[in-house]
Structure 1
Amino acid sequence: FITYLRVNENHGSIEIGHVNFSQQLARTRQATEASFLLMKYAFDTLGYRRVEWTCDPLNRKSYRASLRLGFQYEGTWLKMRICKGRSTDLSWFSIVDDEWPHVKHEIQRWLNPTNFDTNGQQLTTLNSAQINPRSKRTTDLNQ
């Protein structure tokens, strides 16, 4: 299951969330493509300026998935909500429209059938260092 959340037409922003893939689907080409298609629709069809991803920072799988898909970490809101009786923080990630063409190209390159062997295993990895140009800007600012 994966869906859009926090749709804000006035500001041109939308969140991808409630990602809940089975063990068989998680971390597969199909799961990546499902996320990619939601991003592509938001940017290319709806014309949105920003796609967001949020997660509890303790949810390491979601945290890593956002970075792998080209989302950039923007910060963590402390004690943002209560979930199952526990106070939780919320980490925010985004891709913005001027980054999208490069992110889109890199994900399409990764999804290409030539990137997978006969068993469906990836030949090259998909990671935030190669996929989002903001990664370099953020790194440069931290030096």
Structure 2
Amino acid sequence: MGDREPPRSRAGYAVFQPMQTRWNDNDQYGHLYNATYVELFDEAMNMSLLDLGFLDHRAGGPIQVVVENGCTYFREVAYPDRLEIGLRIAHVGRSSIRVELGMFRAGEETEAARAHFTLVTVDNATRRPLPTPQAQREALQGLRRPTDG
């Protein structure tokens, strides 16, 4: 555990999604359930990707599915905190995409938690991996940030 990265600042993220905690998000210790962090990160990631034209499962084109995720906690977050979740693209491979997200209390400069999701582009019907379409790859490039942000 001694070599884990310290919390990042807002400058390490390309776009932000506002999120609101809910009363039932808190556990018996007065902070968010672990699963709620992942739900909030997933929602913010999907909102950001939808803004770029990704995840349209009704159109029949390639979609992205999650094959791995994880979360690191730095400080507690609890209801009624208003949050801003930042997103950056850390890596774009042939068919895989690594998305990193930082959870910030509204107005704070240092993240309270960080998550990563690895997505794989798949055929909408067969769910077999496909190369990520060039237009999507180009859209993702605008969400890259230096690793030391």
TM-score, length basis structure 1 = 0.28
Structure in which a larger fraction of residues adopt helix: 1
Higher strand share: 2
Bigger relative contact order, structure 1 or 2, given CA contacts below 8 A and separation 6+? 2
Q: TM-score of the superposition, structure 2-length normalised?
A: 0.27
